[in-house]
Amino acid sequence: MARQVSRQRKIGMTILAWFVGFLIFFPILWTFLTSFKTELTAISIPPQFLFFDWTTENYVNIQAQANYFHFMMNSIYLALGSTVLGLIFAIPAAWAMAFSPTKRTKDVLLWMLSTKMLPAVGVYIPIYLLFINLGLLDSRLGLIIVLFLINLPIMVWMLYTYFKEIPVDILEAARMDGATLRQEITQILAPMAVPGIASTVLLNVILAWNEAFWTLNLTTSNAAPLTAFIASFSSPQGNFYATLSAASMLAIAPILIVGWFSQKQLVRGLTFGAVK
């Protein structure tokens, strides 16, 4: 039912929304600005907002100090590897739960999601030891497996809510029309589920890209992704905020661009099933 919203109220809400949006965006903006300052301007008080001498020296320094490309390739490997592996397991799982649920399907889903609430440190020692024994420490494969496992519950959950929205009638119609199970999946279900699968992939890539606990603790150099790249600029010489900001910008730039262009799908993906 349409509700009448007064003009003042509309304006008020708009200002509030912009304010909150700005608040959330501010850290990224500040990092961006700082990355173009000299170390001295970066810590000057009062802080300088726009009118300082813009410099790209931080970016130049970083290129000289570390192999950005190596870290970025690792991030890409980890994000894509864990996502592809995740899809292979999550799609059939979500399919089964959405289209032939049992009494306990809802419980299983909740239980899976609840594992996300566990603090990661709780299993850090066992996993670390396991990685040593299996020779997976500082390997891409090992990290791909860990990232895949920690994001699997979210993937299953998201795909499940998408598949739930596909009317069973349509699948049954295909069954009546003589489609085999394979044809039912490839010709009817998959095309209808493409938007859902796409936004699940997107979210998972972002989560894997940003994951900083396991990627920092299970790598040293060989498999280290961009999170480790940033971290490497924070220690031991003390904090150089401008350099650190430049490193952060380089690390988040790829995902920021991807996220910017796909924000519609992302929002839809995260609220899907909630609004109907």
Residues in the site for other proteins, rule: CB under 8 A?
167, 169-170, 172-179, 183, 188, 191-192
Find the shortest distance in angstroms from Cβ 4 to other proteins.
29
Closest CA to 206 of 24, 91, 109, 75: 75
Residue 171 neighbours by CB under 8 Å, 6+ apart:
99, 184, 188, 189
For helices 105-114 and 140-164, what crossing angle results, to 10°? 140
CB atoms within 10 A of CB 110: 11
- Smallest gap from Cβ 188 to other proteins, in A, equals 6
Find tokens 């059939």 and name the residue: 92
Identify which of residues 24 and 176 has a Cβ nearer to other proteins in the complex.
Answer: 176
Beta carbon nearer to other proteins, 164 or 175: 175
CB of 90 to other proteins, least distance (A): 22
User: Cβ closer to other proteins: 118 or 168?
Assistant: 168
Name which of 188 and 224 has its Cβ closer to other proteins: 188
Beta carbon nearer to other proteins, 174 or 228:
174
Buried b (16+ CB within 10 A) or exposed e, 59-81: bebbeeebebeebbebbbbbbbb
Query: How far apart are alpha carbons 138 and 223 in whole angstroms?
Result: 5
Instruction: Closer to other proteins by CB, 72 or 179: give it.
Output: 179
Smallest gap from Cβ 251 to other proteins, in A, equals 39
Nearest distance, CB of residue 200 and other proteins, angstroms: 19
The CB-of-17 to other proteins minimum distance in angstroms stands at: 32
Nearer to other proteins, 183 or 232 (CB): 183
Phi and psi at 275, nearest 5°, equal -100, 135
Using alpha carbons, select from 4, 48, 158 the residue that is nearest to residue 93.
158
In this structure, the number of other CB atoms found within 10 A of the CB of residue 90 comes to 25
- Say whether 84 sits in a helix, a strand or coil: helix
Q: How far is the CB of 262 from other proteins (least distance, A)?
A: 21
Residue 103 DSSP class:
T
- For residues 101 and 168, is the Cβ–Cβ distance under 8 A? no
